[in-house]
Amino acid sequence: MAGDFFEGKVAIVTGGSQGIGAATVRAIAARGAQVVINYVSSADLAEELRDEIGEKAIAVQADLSAGEANTLAEAALDKWGRIDCLVNNAGKTAFANHEDLDALSADDFLDIYRLNVVGAYEMIRAVAPSMQASGSGAIVNVTSVAAHYGIGSSVAYAASKGALLTMTYSLARALAPEIRVNAISPGYVGTGWFTNRLGEEAKLAIDRHFEETTPLRRAGTAEDIADMIIPLLDDASRHMTGQAIVVDAGSHLDVGSSRRKGKEEL
């Protein structure tokens, strides 16, 4: 059972103070694991989440885009002496119309890749020795449906998530058999990020769009994604590596139509 697997394990969740990251932290801790909650600027949210979980969690500030992956690995090892699971959730984007080739600069691409791709790679490199020493480990990279279909907030974002997906395949091969590496590709997830950026009314309008148009008639939640990350970490997926699971209420089945309607907030 998942609860038995997570007892005594140690997990790191990057971008773990809010949204999908926070939901994943709660799900892992509820199953008995110790969790490192990574954050960059949202210290209050990270500390609140740590207090909510209690002694099974620590909050650690580290900016993966600035090469601070070792800070997280060292914090886990100093506190608990092992690392069993990694969820590479931290990411960023820039909003730009895909048809406007002047909307993004080279610096925009590099800024997004620095976190979404290079930061994730350095995080894997930081935890791999501990996992290899123990003989097992599980990594989940949070990509996006943008990686599969070239949609989303910008070309740079979609390309970065595509690169993260390709890296999942490469490292699943390279790190086997001790370490399993899989990916999860969420569609729209109605987190507070959308409320903060667009306002409550606009966020609710997007929710309604997906509730009305997806085959499952649902707008995704952070918990929906966390509930799919958990089995990729535990023994339920012991025979699985180098895979990407799309979790989007079936919206990819009509992705062309959704794009024409301008719903690219993925």
Catalytic residue among 39, 157, 169, 188: 157
Q: Spell out the residues 6+ positions from residue 56 whose beta carbon is closer than 8 angstroms to its own.
A: 29, 32, 33, 34, 35
Q: Spell out the residues 6+ positions from residue 107 whose beta carbon is closer than 8 angstroms to its own.
A: none
Q: Give the up-direction half-sphere exposure of residue 101: CA atoms within 13 A in the CB hemisphere.
A: 0
CA dihedral 72, 75, 81, 86 (to 10 degrees): -20
Question: Is the CB of residue 78 less than 8 Å from the CB of residue 3?
Answer: no
* Cα 25 to Cα 16: distance, rounded to the nearest angstrom: 7
Active site residue 157: yes
Q: Spell out the residues 6+ positions from residue 196 whose beta carbon is closer than 8 angstroms to its own.
A: none
The residues carrying an active-site annotation are 157
